[in-house]
A and B are shown apart, each in its own frame.
Chain A
């Protein structure tokens, strides 16, 4: 089989690159294997949340000039980052992903522990604070579903109160869940979301909520308005179930991400995959690419679980970091397992980690090094028809800088633009 471009990796960066290329008319194949980091997606995309000192960045595009030269944004250039940030918003919108925010200024998402973290775009479902990081002045009614362990309402209530809002917690019983509660797997966010996709169950749930919270205040001049905060367990394929719930409740309804698996991440993945295949892209599911062959500075072919080797004019490496097996650390060294590309990493293992987990961990910044066109190097020479995107890249830190999903989106689009020319 032959394609214009083959993408290795089915996470956020791989799917985004695939959509951009398919939109431009390319024949694109994407090999997806295992879980991506969308498994713990927060509901928000971040572009650049913290500077080198750990201070919150309010205008991410203005901060790019201060990044070190090996950061993927610095390689692409500030103007190009702004351009691709706008394109990313278009791509997400076209895929049916409803969101708020833009690259001109960060806002805050509210984490499952009730604390703010800077964000660039947040799914429309999510409770967020504004660009001045202020929480809207609601009387928050925070609800959990009985038997659901992965939504820590006490932390959220505490956090919202800390930000100056009023907050009360409630537990709602969902009858259909009671029968299933013996198995922990039935009470995952994604399993509950499957139930909530059923209109009848959703109506029952809304009735339960209304019976629990009897003093819901609409937004009238004399009262502090109420808003409902729920775990993100609504809408595997879109925001529709939450919209219905908003109509039924008559007051603002927001969600906050749960512990993994993330329903919001699953939704983003489903919608991006749908968009990609509608544009003619081909996904090879459960297809782990096992090796790639480079000769004279070009990728010749790749091999996977399928017996057939496939080839293309261009390849995109979107295999992620250690947790996605895009990078591998053994006792002695860090390597890139498919092509054995050149790696930016501390040579000695003692330099990989720091003793405090919340310190900026060196290994988070390890990855393949590239030139300004995102061509990775092998043996010191760039590979001309290979592009590296997303978390497999060196020079950024998704935790300390809050730039993970942004790097995935921006570098995917930069690589696609470079391929299309």
Chain B
């Protein structure tokens, strides 16, 4: 495959398999560009897969950043239309507590209206009625059209549509150098991380959509993008405690947002600068957990006694505003840099900042710039044309939520491998046999297997077996993969290792190490 890729001449090479990258690949391919996307690992392994999955109404930014807020509400409405199978519409509340200044509520309300966000001030009693989990001490509430979005499904749908429009997409292919001739970027050097094979690939424009790692890619191209890795820690709870998103009605702070998604609830987040070197292996600290719980229980007191599934952290790619290298002007908005204009480097674009749910707009901005450089006149259609598979939902197959109409083909094997997320044997086998998942972690991202309440106590081993029988993996290899997968789950459990979470962790360890002897497959033991 790589050989064919290396021979091709691309219009655009996109680096990064997060939502921004796959969204840009879709847009470019839809406009008829010969498109290649390169991702060094798997899809959605950076910030895309490590946030709270909030479908912002924009209210959160209405007071501080009206332009971002307006972007959010526009994209919110677009995603409800083009990606309804990835979105859960449940609205959100901004609640004021006795210690909060109610005048902020007025500010928020007015700012929402200026930004075009439908917002209603509602009575605290009404808020308690529509959201019984909310702190009963609340003194005020504003209702806004917040929702939640499943980043894995959204990436998958964009990736699929990009391919359907002819894009080439390679995961586990790392860019090792940017090929420059004089003041122009002409392509990239690539290393296949699994085979070690190296090759060059030519493209007329290279789009840097590598998230926080984009600062390293920019360095390779010989330009500087000043970024500030901002770590955000989050906790997933094992039950859906709230029906609606609950935000604190004050200046954005730690642990002040609680997002329901499917049958879980996610509490986020913290915000701390971290060195870039830490971004590849994020660990949640006891201090972060303390901050999150201290603030989160103010939103919903019941959280104090709700079982935690695990904690995780992601890195926001915050960027210094275009010409501000000092870092004082950090933007939380979208940053699209034309390096030809800024640095005199032709054929190189950086698209970063932004949010999960403004990815489509980011993709549009980057693609518009690519098209301008290539003299392509075709306009963006991604706001109008729905992502694949949202039609013909199969009512009784949960896979339909992930696969849309494609789920029809998977109906035969309805037994559940993952009982928490109702992932069927058919869906797991299909995902493995079609080559979409080489490891259990990839299988988890594609299907949600192992993400549920049980932390993979049965489904991970069942899937590891299917990796052998369907995926033709050697048992030793699949066993190592399983040990890695369970080890990775533990990484999310131990920071919140008390209460029922510790009890569940003990059960998981008892089954996998005690009953099964999985420790004999782990890296050290081999």
Please list the residues of chain A having a beta carbon within 8 angstroms of any beta carbon in chain B.
Answer: 37, 40, 42, 111-117, 147, 149-150, 152-155, 157-159, 181-182, 184, 187, 257, 259-260, 262, 321-323, 325, 328-331, 349-350, 352-358, 361, 363-364, 398-399, 402, 404
Contacts and interface: CB of A to CB of B under 8 A. Distances in A.
5 contacts: A111-B516, A150-B461, A349-B286, A364-B506, A398-B510
A295 B184 CA distance: 85
Nearest to B513: A399
A359 to B, nearest CB: 9
Contacts of B494: 353-355
A259 B458 contact: yes
Contacts, number: 146
Contact of A352 (B469, B487, B502, B517): B502
Given A149-B462, A353-B497, A40 B415 contact: no
A399 B509 CA distance: 8
The 7 closest A-B pairs by CB, nearest first: A158-B475, A154-B468, A357-B490, A152-B465, A358-B519, A353-B494, A111-B517
B511 A329 contact: no
Contacts of B479: 113, 155
Contacts of B193: none
B65 interface: no
Nearest to A162: B476
A364 B513 CA distance: 13
Given A113-B516, A358-B487, A329 B499 contact: yes
Contacts of B474: 158
A112 B515 contact: yes
Given A154-B469, A355-B491, 5 more contacts: A149-B462, A153-B465, A259-B462, A329-B503, A353-B502
B512 to A, nearest CB: 8
Nearest to A258: B515
Contact of B511 (A40, A328, A349): A40
Q: Would you call the interface of chain B mostly helix, strand, loop, or mixed? A: helix
B506 A154 contact: no
A363 B414 CA distance: 39
Contacts of B89: none
B522 interface: yes
Interface string B349-367: 0000000000000000000
Interface residues of B, number: 53
Contact of A155 (B465, B483, B506, B522): B465
A161 B376 CA distance: 61
A184 B507 contact: no
A331 B469 contact: no
Given A323-B503, A323-B506, A329-B498, A150 B462 contact: yes
Given A114-B475, A182-B415, A399 B510 contact: yes
A67 B441 CA distance: 39
B520 A115 contact: yes
B109 interface: no
A111 B286 contact: no
A40 B515 contact: yes
Interface in B470-526: 474-476, 478-479, 483, 486-487, 490-491, 494, 497-499, 502-507, 509-522, 524-525
A111 B515 contact: yes
B506 A357 contact: no
Contacts of A152: 461-462, 464-465, 468
With most chain A CB atoms within 10 A of its CB, the pick from B491, B510, B514 is: B514
Given A112-B515, A155-B465, A329-B498, A357 B509 contact: yes
